[in-house]
Chains A and B, each alone.
Chain A
């Protein structure tokens, strides 16, 4: 089980959270072609190593936030608020 640091509530156990997938996705814009829409809707990065992703503290403060996690070890490298840049992760 993971222990995740919620930026508002501190470290809590994984079952309090829900996973939200890749972070920092950009809306492609109304003029985008089908390929760009497919990328936005269906393609998510899937690296072996550090991954910036979103989590929501469902059974806590219900806030969304960002986590950097190593997908080869599950080690959490830091978490940061939606209005913070990844460099602020701790």
Chain B
């Protein structure tokens, strides 16, 4: 582990050695793992908990995402889960006593054809029926809400309307890591970094502990929150998961003045763009086509993303690209998460958040902590179990991605 790896403000939490055993071990110290640890202690009074992380806190997708928060999912099951999360975001900074720069600046999803408009207005109605804020804007109102967008009707894919969720927005992702880690630590949760899981200990069909680079640790219950590395963890525990791990790339520009007042996305033209509080334009590209654990992708994906963004924002043509990176995302066949029990007793799964996990951070942690504490799925995640693939009861949310992945 390089020395610089721990230049995060480690005074926000202890760096304890693992105890011989815990009531619950959460494998994976990303945002969902940290949130799970925090809510286990806060909501369920279970503080004898370890969150184990193979690298360091804030080393992976937790700080490699595009920080966008929204709950515009079509299906009732998904809408309930993501809206639960958005509601938690609305009070999270206060609960954690940490400025998360959570900013409900609005998420605007552009539509470019009549077919697009039909699916967009259907989404507006579906969300309203579920009590979630959603509006439909015509081209003129789009221009009024976000004047920078090129709404000229003579471009290849003109803007003919847009979906708007005003309660959607962005937050500062590394602040969320720090805040959750500090809060979990204060409640007594052990955050164990540089601790890679290399195997599971079992008694019959029941898991009893993990084998790690820091030795054996016993556990009453274990939650796997390994994102892109979940298939490797599940294979060690002896069962398969229907997950494919691929690179998902994002990019930021150099820092410019605040010019963009909302989140803009378009699946038709493939744009996913917002401006961080510091000033960088943050863009999310499409998923690379192939499976990978290499945390990098192909450059033609970036080139395409920039070309698409410039069609809607010709003004950005002279801004320099500063940095690109890739995270490994775990995507299920129906693009919905998999949460609940596994074929191994006392071992629970929370994965498949794939291309859209940041927004779900508090909701995912909340329901998974409840699942681990009670040994059964939280009512909101019953439809999201691993068993849905055998029943053929899939939760198709491919259309919910901000861009086509």
**Interface digits, A67-90 against B, CB 8 Å rule (1 contact, 0 not)?**
001011110000000000000000
CA distance A37 to B232 in the complex (A): 22
**Interface digits, B67-99 against A, CB 8 Å rule (1 contact, 0 not)?**
000000000000000000000000000000000
CA distance A60 to B296 in the complex (A): 26
Contact yes or no, B294 A74, CB < 8 A: yes
B16 sits at the interface (CB 8 A) = no
Contact yes or no, B292 A74, CB < 8 A: yes
Q: Which of B282-321 contact A (CB under 8 A)?
A: 289-294, 296, 298-300
CA distance A37 to B299 in the complex (A): 37
CA distance A72 to B245 in the complex (A): 11
A46 sits at the interface (CB 8 A) = yes
Nearest opposing residue in chain A for B330, CB measure: A46
**Interface digits, A1-25 against B, CB 8 Å rule (1 contact, 0 not)?**
1100000000000110011010000
- Closest Cβ of chain A to B150, distance in Å, is 26
CB < 8 Å neighbour of A35 from B231, B244, B245, B390: B390
Q: Which of A27-69 contact B (CB under 8 A)?
A: 34-35, 37-39, 41-44, 46, 48, 51, 53, 69
Provide the main secondary structure of the chain A interface: mixed
CA distance A15 to B290 in the complex (A): 12
Q: A2-B298, A42-B333 are in contact. Are A71 and B292 (CB under 8 A)?
A: yes
Among B245, B293, B299, the most chain A Cβ lie within 10 Å of the Cβ of: B293
Among B243, B291, B299, the most chain A Cβ lie within 10 Å of the Cβ of: B291
CA distance A26 to B298 in the complex (A): 30
CB < 8 Å neighbour of A46 from B231, B299, B392: B231
- Give the total of B residues in contact with A, Cβ under 8 Å: 24
CA distance A41 to B394 in the complex (A): 12
Q: A48-B232, A51-B291, A53-B290 are in contact. Are A34 and B243 (CB under 8 A)?
A: no
CB < 8 Å neighbour of B242 from A1, A34, A43: A43
CA distance A71 to B289 in the complex (A): 12
Q: A1-B298, A43-B242, A44-B244 are in contact. Are A38 and B232 (CB under 8 A)?
A: no
**Which residues of chain B have C-beta atoms less than 8 A from A35's C-beta?**
390
**Which residues of chain A have C-beta atoms less than 8 A from B4's C-beta?**
none
B389 sits at the interface (CB 8 A) = yes
- Closest Cβ of chain A to B246, distance in Å, is 9
**Which residues of chain A have C-beta atoms less than 8 A from B293's C-beta?**
48, 71-72
Among B290, B298, B392, the most chain A Cβ lie within 10 Å of the Cβ of: B290
Where the two chains meet, the residues of A that have a C-beta atom closer than 8 Å to any C-beta of B are 1-2, 14-15, 18-19, 21, 34-35, 37-39, 41-44, 46, 48, 51, 53, 69, 71-74
A-B contact list, 28 entries, CB within 8 Å: A1-B298, A1-B299, A1-B300, A2-B290, A14-B300, A15-B300, A19-B289, A34-B390, A38-B390, A38-B392, A39-B240, A41-B333, A41-B389, A42-B242, A43-B241, A43-B242, A44-B242, A46-B243, A51-B291, A69-B290, A71-B245, A71-B290, A71-B293, A71-B294, A74-B290, A74-B292, A74-B294, A74-B296
